[in-house]
């Protein structure tokens, strides 16, 4: 029997999406579902959601268990899905925004790069190491589906410390952006053919086409570029279409996210620029509040008698599990060690490339060649990622300072002295979540 363990299962809304996908696949309806979280209330809600999904789908012998201890949940797992947020919204994430703001450094999302991404990575990696150590003992052959941000930093750290763990980082930005663009262009998203490569949240489409009923392919880039020129795109996507005008390729992550990965768009000291680019300082905090309200609303719904709706999402987890368990071929975009997949990027970094999935597991494919300007943009993020991983693996505090120094957004807004002082204050504030650095 296939055993699927969700770590951080108290992220109920996301767990509902993933489990709805998994249990909608007939071949997986007899899998054992193991839920783990440290928050008893949220865990109980997710257990109820799982059972309600089974009822909706007519699964009479659903096998599901919940655990407040990690090791029993992991024991014998075939697939481990990570979806936790170390430190939570309060106090950790709020601190990631409030302290930098004192120094004049405004952030939008703060979960991938920038000082918020750096601190989130430093909090998360020790927990990842504990999970991987347990997996080596309790489920050494399991496939680790890693959804936790900062994606590339987390996957890179696992590769360095636990090279035998079978891990792939998963995000929805590639397929979600493709669907968004299909909507803007008025075409069927299921008729798209695209190729994409780069690093997580800084990947670009090398090919974006529409496949017509007669089998012919239409290049959609001319239409996208015309939209960029005519400014007929949605106002919220100013940053990405500006990038398209300047570098000729469309980036996969949202404008709100991507604005933090460079020195160009997010200028807290210049609110007119922030307004022009349709950005909102502290955006992630607003989203967290909305997600908490959504979870409370879900709790109320579960107390009623209304059927729980189950719809397939565009997340990759269920397809990967189906591919490995049944052999049904799948194509996903996964975050994996480079090792020459994108020759212009360092071999040891984590890249986001197409992957083939079947009974043999996850097999990354080489990305198509891309312009040097794009790999140069990626290189800015990779430099920061490398220093965060160095800090986590070696315990050297200097690497944290170096990560902040190299970060494009931080270095554009703060002096080196301000950057170092901010790091010190954040390390002190997050002391309970961090190991000791020397």
User: Over the stretch 76-113, which tens digit does the pLDDT of each residue have?
Assistant: 999 999 999 999 999 999 999 999 999 999 999 999 99
Q: Rounded mean pLDDT of 392-420?
A: 98
pLDDT of amino acid 98: 98
Residues 366-390 as b or e (16 or more Cβ within 10 Å = b): ebeebeeebbebbbbbbbbbbbbbb
| Residue owning tokens 């160095």 | 390
| pTM score, whole prediction | 0.97
Give the DSSP letter string of 269-325: T-HHHHHHTT--TTHHHHHHHHHHHHHHHHHHHHHS-SPPP----S-SHHHHHHHHH
Apex 24 CA angle, 167 and 208, nearest 5: 60
Q: Rounded mean pLDDT of 313-334?
A: 98
pLDDT of amino acid 305: 74
Q: Is 95 left (phi over 0), alpha (psi -120 to 50) or beta?
A: alpha
Would you place residue 309 in the very low, low, confident or very high pLDDT band (cuts 50, 70, 90)?
A: confident
Structural domains in the chain plus CATH codes:
3-87+113-171+305-326 (3.90.1820.10)
Give CA–CA dist 17/53, Å, rounded: 10
User: Over the stretch 206-230, which tens digit does the pLDDT of each residue have?
Assistant: 999 999 999 999 999 999 999 999 9
176: CB partners within 8 A, 6+ apart:
314
Apex 404 CA angle, 429 and 246, nearest 5: 130
Q: Is the pLDDT of residue 16 over 80?
A: yes
pLDDT of amino acid 301: 84
- Structure token digits, residue 346: 């360092």
pLDDT of amino acid 299: 85
Q: Rounded mean pLDDT of 39-50?
A: 94
Does residue 67 have an active-site annotation? no
Q: Rounded mean pLDDT of 279-295?
A: 94
pLDDT of amino acid 302: 79
Q: Rounded mean pLDDT of 339-368?
A: 97
Among the listed residues 172, 193, 270, 402, the single catalytic one is 172
Would you place residue 204 in the very low, low, confident or very high pLDDT band (cuts 50, 70, 90)?
A: very high
């Amino acid at each position: 029997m296939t055993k699927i363990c969700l770590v951080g299962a108290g992220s109920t809304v996301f767990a509902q999406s993933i489990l709805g996908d998994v249990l909608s696949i007939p071949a997986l309806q007899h899998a054992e579902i193991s839920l783990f979280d440290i928050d008893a209330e949220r865990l109980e809600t997710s257990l109820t959601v799982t059972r309600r999904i089974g009822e909706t789908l007519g699964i009479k012998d659903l096998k599901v268990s919940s655990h407040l201890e990690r090791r029993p949940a992991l024991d014998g797992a075939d697939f481990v899905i990570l979806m936790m947020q170390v430190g939570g919204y309060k106090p950790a994430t709020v601190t990631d925004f409030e302290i930098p703001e004192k120094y004049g450094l405004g952030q939008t999302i703060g979960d991938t790069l920038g000082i918020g991404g750096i601190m989130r990575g430093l909090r998360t990696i020790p927990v990842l190491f504990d999970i991987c150590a347990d997996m080596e003992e309790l489920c050494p052959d399991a496939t680790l589906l890693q959804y936790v941000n900062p994606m590339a930093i987390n996957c890179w750290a696992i590769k360095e410390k636990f090279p035998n763990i079978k891990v792939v980082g998963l995000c929805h930005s590639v397929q979600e952006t493709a669907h968004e663009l299909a909507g803007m262009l008025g075409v069927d998203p299921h008729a798209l053919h695209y190729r994409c490569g780069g690093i997580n949240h800084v990947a670009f489409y090398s090919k974006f086409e529409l496949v017509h009923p007669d089998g012919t392919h239409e290049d959609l880039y001319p239409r996208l570029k015309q939209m960029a020129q005519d400014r007929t795109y949605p106002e919220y996507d100013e940053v990405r279409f500006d990038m398209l005008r300047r570098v000729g390729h469309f980036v996969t992550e949202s404008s709100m996210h991507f604005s933090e990965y460079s020195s160009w768009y997010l200028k807290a000291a210049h609110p007119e620029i922030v307004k022009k680019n349709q950005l909102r300082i502290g955006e992630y905090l607003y989203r967290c509040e909305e997600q908490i309200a959504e979870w409370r609303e879900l709790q109320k719904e579960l107390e009623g008698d209304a059927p729980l709706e189950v719809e397939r999402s565009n997340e990759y987890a269920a397809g990967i599990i189906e591919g490995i368990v049944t052999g049904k071929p799948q194509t996903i975009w996964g975050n994996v060690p480079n090792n020459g997949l994108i020759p212009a990027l360092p071999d040891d970094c984590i890249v986001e490339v197409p992957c083939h999935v079947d009974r043999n597991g996850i097999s990354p494919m080489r990305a198509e060649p891309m312009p040097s300007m794009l790999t140069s943009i990626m290189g800015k993020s990779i430099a920061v990622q490398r220093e965060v991983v160095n800090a986590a693996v070696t315990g050297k505090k200097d690497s944290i300072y170096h990560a902040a120094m190299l970060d494009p957004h931080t270095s554009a807004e703060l002096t080196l002295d301000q950057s170092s002082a901010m790091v010190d204050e954040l390390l002190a504030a997050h002391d309970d979540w961090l190991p000791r650095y020397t």
